């Protein structure tokens, strides 16, 4: 990764200065998951409710979510497709038309350009930026092509390469170790509350992402970027 500018301390109300922002990928640096599901449904002809039911049935059958297994590299993408579509009695070749699952999935995935621009602003202010993502090894070329990874991030921690995923405490420990940071100086942004809770347990500050405007406002407030704060911060935790 290309090193960012030297960290500049930002005062936060309840602890030491925040010097690093760490973001999630899916649902934060992309459009919401529900939109991706909807486009996948349109592309395959599988109703969203049926697809979600198939994932749930596969999870019960194998005792673990197939997506969770995929995100730690325990199974390959083809096995996820087999597990899920077999619950629908559907031929993967008919549904995916010979394409990889990820290619069809990424038709409904868009980069959050506004938040990406905000990360550039955070770095320009002298802070470090990291990425902590539950992701899929087969999808790495796709998501990296959609983001200026080397430009934006000082550290990338990807579950599919770590063999462990959020909210497991171990992936947060690895993140902090690679940052070489005191957890209390790290601010974490994720769209899932369970992932935020896990970050707080490790000593980080965490904000749950709801909308881009809310995230920019709340992160800007805590990191001492008043020019980005248009109204009093709310929703931080």
Kindly list the distances between the CA atom of residue 156 and the CA atoms of 74, 78, 134, 236, in Å, as whole numbers in the listed order.
20, 25, 11, 24
pLDDT at 6: 37
pLDDT in tens, 21-45: 999 999 999 999 999 999 999 999 9
Query: Does the structure show a pLDDT above 60 at 7?
Result: no
Cis before residue 205, ω within 30 degrees of 0? no
| For the chain, domain boundaries | 10-30+111-228, 33-108
Query: Does the structure show a pLDDT above 80 at 3?
Result: no
pLDDT at 227: 53
Looking at per-residue pLDDT, the higher value among 189 and 93 belongs to: 189
pLDDT at 226: 63
Distance from chain centroid for Cα 212:
14
Q: What is the DSSP string of 133-173?
A: E---GGGHHHHHHHS-HHHH-SEEEEHHHHT--TT-HHHHH
pLDDT in tens, 76-105: 999 999 999 999 977 777 889 889 999 999
Query: Does the structure show a pLDDT above 70 at 56?
Result: yes
pLDDT in tens, 120-171: 999 999 999 999 999 999 999 999 999 999 999 999 999 999 999 999 999 9
From 3.30.70.920, 3.40.50.300, 3.40.50.1000, 1.10.3720.10, which CATH number describes the 10-30+111-228 domain?
A: 3.40.50.1000
Q: Which single residue is written with the structure tokens 């940071």?
A: 181
User: How many degrees, rounded to 5, is the angle at CA 191 between CA 1 and CA 83?
Assistant: 90
CB of 150 closer than 8 Å to CB of 1: yes
Kindly list the distances between the CA atom of residue 109 and the CA atoms of 36, 58, 101, 221, in Å, as whole numbers in the listed order.
6, 24, 13, 29
Average pLDDT (180-207) is 98
Average pLDDT (66-81) is 97
Q: Rounded mean pLDDT of the chain?
A: 90
Q: What is the DSSP string of 163-185?
A: T--TT-HHHHHHHHHHHT--GGG
Q: Measure the CA–CA gap between 110 and 29, rounded to whole angstroms.
A: 8
Query: Does the structure show a pLDDT above 60 at 231?
Result: no
Average pLDDT (211-216) is 96
Token pair for 93 = 């070749």
Question: What percent of the chain has pLDDT above 90?
Answer: 84
pLDDT at 176: 97
């Amino acid at each position: 990764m290309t090193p960012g500018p030297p960290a500049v301390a930002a005062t936060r109300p309840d602890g030491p200065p925040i010097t690093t922002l760490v973001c999630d990928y899916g649902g934060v640096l992309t459009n919401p998951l529900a939109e991706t599901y909807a486009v996948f449904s349109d592309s395959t002809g599988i109703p969203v409710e049926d697809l979600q039911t198939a994932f749930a049935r596969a999870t019960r059958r194998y005792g673990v979510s197939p997506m969770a297994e995929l995100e730690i590299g325990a199974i390959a993408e083809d096995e996820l497709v087999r597990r899920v579509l077999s619950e629908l009695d559907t031929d993967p070749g008919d549904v995916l038309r010979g394409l990889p699952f990820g290619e069809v999935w990424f038709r409904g995935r868009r980069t959050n350009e506004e938040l990406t621009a905000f990360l550039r602003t955070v770095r320009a202010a002298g802070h470090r930026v990291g990425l902590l993502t539950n992701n899929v090894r087969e999808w790495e070329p796709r998501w990296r092509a959609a983001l200026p990874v080397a430009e934006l991030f000082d550290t990338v921690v990807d579950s599919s390469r770590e063999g462990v995923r959020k909210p497991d405490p171990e992936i947060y420990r690895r993140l902090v170790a690679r940052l070489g940071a005191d957890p209390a100086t790290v601010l974490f942004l994720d769209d899932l509350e369970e992932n935020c809770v896990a970050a707080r347990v490790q000593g980080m500050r965490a904000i749950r992402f709801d909308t881009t405007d809310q995230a920019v406002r709340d992160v800007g407030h805590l990191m001492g970027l008043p020019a980005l704060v248009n109204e009093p911060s709310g929703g931080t935790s």
